[in-house]
Amino acid sequence: MFLSLKKTTVIALMTLLFFSSCQKDPVVENNSSKQITEGFVLDADTLGILTTTKVADTYVHLYHSTSGAQVNSYAIESRNKVVIVDALHFQSRGEEMRNFANFLEKDIERVLVSHAHADHYMALGNFKDLPTYATSDAITNIANEGEATRLFRISLGEPFLSEYPDSVTIPENVVETSFTVDDIKYETFNFINTEAKDQMLLKIPSLKMIHTADLVTIGGHQILIDPEQIINAIQYIKALEGEGYTTLLTGHNGMEDMSVLDPVLQYLYTAKSILDTNPTAADYQTQIEAAYPSYGDASFVVLLMDNAGAFN
């Protein structure tokens, strides 16, 4: 059952402006007073924050969950249809995002799951009546590991006990390498063994945008299975700047420009240099926290890395 709609709140318009003397970039509106969607109100408990950016003739709606892994979902609204990227973690957040997508009153073309981490797919049941897509690797990993993840986290008690579904919804379709919605072309590329076993990069050339899943993490510790693989992935994304890409749709931060990639790469080089010494999990945690004290406690990230076999 979806949350109710009320007619009071205007969703804020994110103000970004890009300039290029060499080519025509999509126009990003700079008008904070423009009413993009009227009449949709987030739950009184403030489950999430909605921000809308108009790029050319397309609206990019970012839903950021205020708890439950601080994860993002995007609704890319074009002329007649909507594409949703990631289904969120907790049921209440996924329900709210679905409610908002319905509010747009356009056909929801598909729901994409970027990778097989629970915070990006566990609330997919809110969208199971729609076409759902992921890479073949992600579908396999969710099918093989999703239920065990669900049961383990429920065993930890709240908030998982209240917020996790009764079963895992597995994406039904393997995403194509490219597809078109309302004349907007989307391109997909899969990286393996980066921050996750699978990680889908989604490129939208006409909007100069890239959805980076969890490949780009800003201001926080990263789960590294194979640092070399994720360095390769970030360098690949950085190279796209030469093709005119300007905006990153991140999995946990916001809509960012390409300048954030340099500090992300520096973190990865530092982490790799520590891992190259074959540290124990405890030694790695001590050293990475010392190198990046502002990033906070790395214990949970290190635990996940240890479970993935990162340490001897």
Residue 1: inside a domain, yes or no? no
Residue 203: inside a domain, yes or no? yes
Residue 124: inside a domain, yes or no? yes
Count, residues in the chain = 312
Cα(104)–Cα(93) distance, integer angstroms: 17
Residue 4: inside a domain, yes or no? no
Say if residues 171 and 139 touch (Cβ distance below 8 Å): yes
pTM, to two decimals: 0.83
pLDDT tens digits in sequence order for the chain, 312 residues long: 333 333 233 333 232 322 233 334 555 553 332 334 455 665 544 688 899 999 999 999 999 998 767 899 999 999 999 999 999 999 999 999 999 999 999 999 999 999 999 999 999 999 999 999 999 999 999 999 999 999 999 999 999 999 999 999 999 999 999 999 999 999 999 988 888 888 999 999 999 999 999 989 899 998 887 788 888 888 888 888 888 999 999 999 999 999 999 999 899 999 999 999 999 999 999 999 999 999 999 998 999 889 888 887
**For residue 299, how far is the Cα from the chain centroid?**
22
Residue 6: inside a domain, yes or no? no
Amino acid code (one letter) for 179: F
Residue 227: inside a domain, yes or no? yes
CATH code (residue 168): 3.60.15.10
The domain total for the chain is: 1
Residue 2: inside a domain, yes or no? no
- Structural domain boundaries, residue 22: 12-307
Residue 86: inside a domain, yes or no? yes
Closest by CA position to 233, among listed 224, 242, 244, 221: 224
* Bond before 171 cis per omega within 30 degrees: no
